[in-house]
Amino acid sequence: MSDFPHVLPTYNRAPITFERGEGVWAIAQNGTRYLDLGAGIAVNALGHANPDLVGALIEQAGKIWHVSNLYNIPQQEKLADLLVENTFADTVFFTNSGTEAAELAIKMARKYHDEKGEPERVEILTFEGAFHGRSTGAIAAAGSQKMVKGFGPLMPGFRQLPFGDTEALRTAITNRTCAVMIEPVQGEGGIRPLPDEDLREIRKLCDDTGTLLILDEVQCGMGRTGRLFAHEFAGIAPDIMMVAKGIGGGFPLGAVLATQSAAAGMVAGTHGSTYGGNPLACAVGVRVMEIVAEPDFLAEVTRKGALMRQKLEGLVASHPRVFESVRGQGLMLGLKCKIAPGDLVQAGYSQQLLTVAAADNVVRLLPPLNITDEEIAEAVDRLDKAAGSLNG
């Protein structure tokens, strides 16, 4: 047996092992309680071991786990109903991850134009700093050197533009353009919200040219910003939208939402997934949607986001050598740092605080959406101590 790590070492892991969780608290094997502002990268939207979600999962686990999409799946139909009722969408396809949602979004957009007799419309315009997943298609879409280097010929048909540069977009759209694909708030790119007027402008450019608008709300969707989906702030709707992360509350689940028109070409046999939309995932997803889509719940996310932001502004002011600014929306917040973000994440571990680094020198704060006011105060207190320990 070689001494090569048995788990493929594609991650630089922090030396912490969690055993269980309670709400915003992740509890390590040695009993240390960490305040979790990472939430598994915006996944545990309702915290760890949420009794409602545990109940939904256990109830389904005792009945039937998996049947495949060869048969009807009532939990899947119910979740699709909830998503359609609460969004622009007419139809939903379930996946197990954001990456798989990206793959279908790309296929659906190209099929749409093919069906309309314009098979040459294959080019998808994306933006620098974007993240859409790690499949060959998704890395080609984002196009960053870090993700594509060494992986051979990229899937053709993608072109990256400066983030939010609507002028560049205007000239980039040609009679070969299929779709524009963008995150309303970039996550991995460093919590960079696209201004509402830019999103409206992009929608208009798409409408004027018959181009589809694909929104990637894998990280910013499912209530994270205080709206069920972030594009609602701009008062526009996409043609196709990718969802994942928060939608399963920690159970692997993703989805592609689409209008009837955008999805028209996706007839029987054109796409599939063995696991996608399986009864366990959808039973949990239904419960997540029932809680998160409630206007009162979303209003609380907005209120708590504002509270946290206000406290973070104070934090930035008292550590001018560590922090530059706060940005984001709702409970999708970023601290732009003057130091390496990884150093703050490390210092956080010493304060039993979990945060996540992002590009553009940003540390992400993505707590469970049901974090309390007291826990917000405690989190900012710990960030204050972490920043202080960095000589700032």
Ligand X SMILES: *Cc1c(COP(=O)(O)O)cnc(C)c1O
Amino acid at 341: P
Q: Give the number of other Cβ atoms within 10 Å of residue 232's Cβ.
A: 18
Q: How far is the CB of 99 from ligand X (least distance, A)?
A: 3
Q: Shortest distance, CB of residue 221 to ligand X, whole angstroms?
A: 9
Residues 181-200: x/- map of binding to ligand X (CB under 6 A)?
--x---xx------------
CA distance 180 to 160: 10
Question: What tokens does 182 get?
Answer: 């963008």
SS (H, E, C) 341-383: HHHHHHHHHHCCEECEEECCCEEEECCCCCCCHHHHHHHHHHH
Among 132, 192, 336, 364, binds ligand X (CB under 6 A): 132
Give me the 68-97 binding string for ligand X, x by CB under 6 A, dash otherwise: -----------------------------x
Judged by beta carbon, residue 92 or residue 380, the one nearer ligand X is 92
Cα–Cα distance measured from residue 48 to residue 33, given in angstroms and rounded to the nearest whole number: 12
> Exactly one of 38, 133, 305, 392 binds ligand X (CB under 6 A); which one?
133
Q: Which of 126, 177, 219, 259 binds ligand X (CB under 6 A)?
A: 219
Say if CB 45 and CB 36 are below 8 A apart. no
Q: Which residue is nearest to ligand X (CB)?
A: 98
Whether residue 192 contacts residue 237, with contact meaning beta carbons closer than 8 Å, is answered with no
For residue 14, the tally of other CB atoms under 10 A from its CB is 11
Least Å from the CB of residue 220 to ligand X: 7
Contact (CB, 8 A) for 372 and 347: no
Which amino acid is located at 152 in the chain? Answer: G
Residue 216 interacts with ligand X (CB under 6 A)?
yes
Binding segment (CB under 6 A) for ligand X, from list 53-61, 83-91, 98-106, 298-306: 98-106
**Sequence-ordered strand ranges (E) for 96-176:** 123-127, 158-161
Judged by beta carbon, residue 131 or residue 229, the one nearer ligand X is: 131
**Contact status: 364 vs ligand X (CB under 6 A):** no
Near ligand X by CB under 6 A: residue from 92, 109, 178, 244 = 244
**If binding is defined by CB under 6 A, does position 329 make contact with ligand X?**
no
* Residue selected from 24, 45, 109, 218 as contacting ligand X according to rule CB under 6 A: 218
Residues that bind ligand X (CB under 6 A): 97-99, 102, 131-133, 183, 187-188, 216, 218-219, 244-245
